[in-house]
Amino acid sequence: MDNIKIIENGSVTTPAGFKASGVTAGLKKSGNPDMALVFSEKPCRFGAAFTSCTFAAAPVQISRQHAENSEFVQAMIINSGNANACTGKKGLENVEKMCGQVAGLLGITPDAVMVASTGRIGVQMPMDIIEKGIALACPALTSDGGETAARAIMTTDTVPKHVAAEIAIDGKTVRLGAMTKGVGMIDPKLNAVPHATMICVVTTDAEVGNSALAGMMPECTADSFNRITVDGDMSTNDTVLVMANGASGVKVVPGSSGEKLFRSALLKVMQILARKMVMDGEGATKFIEVSVVNAADVDTAKLCAEAVANSLLCKTAWFGCDPNWGRVIAAVGYSGAKFDPDKVNVFYNRRPVVKNGGDAGTPEAELALELKGRELKVTIELNNGSSSYWVWTSDISYEYVKINAEYHT
């Protein structure tokens, strides 16, 4: 949309009233930054979404409680290098300690602190290192610390992922900033309250109510983070938090054109970050959009799109630039969707691959050329309705196996 301006090199500290930091506590053997803190000078209304994995990590459980019971949040502390998942009562107690320490140093209440963690599962938090990191992160907060914070939450990511956007509501400027991490163990199915890892923080200086944000979260996550998959594995720690501090003096009124524009901007920054995650997928060489169209209903289209996007045979064929369309239609066929196979067409970009359930006749060499690009669109026409669904995914390379075989467990 032309009325949503993307701010070059923008981050979570682009909106007014936000500070961030990224520090090295010592969780990573590499010595790279491993703890980030995002803080608002004013209490924030908020919206949140978390993993639907039954083995939800301790920080997810505590943050979910805060989301359900608090009117405001003001800070989010994030560590990489330890997931604090499957750590029992002690893991929960350690999250509470993190909230208490952050709150004490920033002069806020513990229930205004959200926590997110990423890294190895099943290992207790080394609280001496965590406490050191928090003690470093709080005084390091700056109004230009967004990029540093984005680097500190990286695990197997190769680049930091952050963005900011600007819109005008009632003639006044409103800004949104965001950062995320995650390039492996990526197949989020986020549930909005009250319902390797992706962690996302969105900040805005607009004044937006909790109920309004709660209404936006399911739609925005459904059309961004829940539409991506790198390897089909959902994390125990997936977390998305939107913080709105109202520092711009602009109120987003429910039902207004301003609310519609703000919702569009929120979706846009989430989609930009979701795309960045797939582009940086572990060992990925290609970005693939799988689009199922002319389906009987959305559920049918979704079943087909996700089956193809998560198929290891499809993903390895794409890596090898092999136009083996049999793998695509096989995935559609076992997806559980109901359709007439004799009506199915498949395209690689705009080139016909399958027509009426059989070979479309395009020379294989021409199809192979379509797969040599950095991006590929696979379109599947079911031709039994008017519904559609898309998923963003990546290929699977030798490097993906290497990264995950050598990832220290």
State the residue for tokens 């053997």: 29
Residue 280's pLDDT is 86
Lowest mean pLDDT among 120-124, 220-224, 229-233, 241-245: 229-233
* Domain shared by 291 and 273, yes or no: no
Residue 196 pLDDT class (50, 70, 90 cuts):
very low
Write out the catalytic residue numbers.
197
Domain that holds residue 298: 287-406
Residue 116, pLDDT > 70, answer: yes
| 3-state SS assignment for residue 223 | coil
Residue 197, pLDDT > 70, answer: no
H or E element that contains 330: helix 325-334
The reply to whether omega before 194 is within 30° of 0 (cis) is yes
Q: For residue 227, which of 190, 178, 264, 184 has the smallest C-alpha distance?
A: 190
Q: For residue 329, which of 350, 356, 357 has the smallest C-alpha distance?
A: 357
Q: How far apart are alpha carbons 341 and 353 in whole angstroms?
A: 14
Counting residues of the chain whose pLDDT is more than 70, the rounded percentage is: 94
* Domain shared by 202 and 307, yes or no: no
Could you tell me what percentage of the chain is helix, strand and coil, using 3-state DSSP and rounding each to the nearest 5? 35, 30, 35
Residue 378, pLDDT > 80, answer: yes
Residue 35, pLDDT > 50, answer: yes
* Domain shared by 53 and 78, yes or no: yes
Domain boundary pick from 256, 279, 302: 279
The CATH number that applies at residue 397 is: 3.10.20.340
Is pTM beyond 0.85 here? yes
Amino acid at 293: V
* Domain shared by 318 and 228, yes or no: no
Q: What is the mean pLDDT of residues 309-332?
A: 96
Q: How far apart are alpha carbons 360 and 347 in whole angstroms?
A: 9
User: How is residue 81 annotated by DSSP?
Assistant: E
Cα–Cα separations (whole angstroms), residue 114 to 57, 77, 174: 13, 6, 24
Residues 6+ apart with CB under 8 A from 310: 187, 229, 232, 393
H or E element that contains 6: strand 5-6
* Domain shared by 341 and 231, yes or no: no
* Domain shared by 299 and 401, yes or no: yes
End-to-end CA distance of the chain: 44
Q: For residue 48, which of 181, 179, 192 has the smallest C-alpha distance?
A: 192
Q: What is the mean pLDDT of residues 144-152?
A: 96
Residue 317's pLDDT is 96
Residue 1, pLDDT > 70, answer: no
Cα–Cα separations (whole angstroms), residue 335 to 291, 297, 345, 357, 408: 14, 14, 16, 16, 34
**Residue 189: CA count within 13 A, CB half-sphere:** 8
As for how many domains the chain has, the answer is 2
Given a contact cutoff of 8 angstroms between Cβ atoms, the answer to whether 27 and 82 are in contact is yes
Residues in a beta bridge with 351: 348
Domain boundary pick from 279, 303, 328: 279
Torsion of CA 351, 352, 353, 357, to 10 degrees: 160
Residue 195, pLDDT > 50, answer: no
* Domain shared by 168 and 141, yes or no: yes
Q: How far apart are alpha carbons 220 and 251 in whole angstroms?
A: 20
Residues 6+ apart with CB under 8 A from 104: none
Given a contact cutoff of 8 angstroms between Cβ atoms, the answer to whether 266 and 34 are in contact is no
Residue 351, pLDDT > 60, answer: yes
* Domain shared by 95 and 221, yes or no: yes
Amino acid at 288: I
* Domain shared by 249 and 117, yes or no: yes
The CATH number that applies at residue 159 is: 3.60.70.12
Q: How far apart are alpha carbons 302 and 280 in whole angstroms?
A: 24
Residue 193, pLDDT > 60, answer: no
Average pLDDT, the chain: 93
* Domain shared by 254 and 333, yes or no: no
* Domain shared by 292 and 397, yes or no: yes
Domain boundary pick from 259, 279, 299: 279
Residue 304, pLDDT > 90, answer: yes
Residues in a beta bridge with 168: 173
Residue 186's pLDDT is 43
Q: How far apart are alpha carbons 396 and 313 in whole angstroms?
A: 9
* Domain shared by 189 and 72, yes or no: yes
Q: What is the mean pLDDT of residues 343-360?
A: 98
Residue 23's pLDDT is 97
Residues in a beta bridge with 201: 179, 241
DSSP 35-79: EEEEEEEEEEEEEEEEE--TT--HHHHHHHHHHHH-S-EEEEEEE
Q: For residue 391, which of 378, 381, 382 has the smallest C-alpha distance?
A: 378
Higher pLDDT, 237 or 133: 133
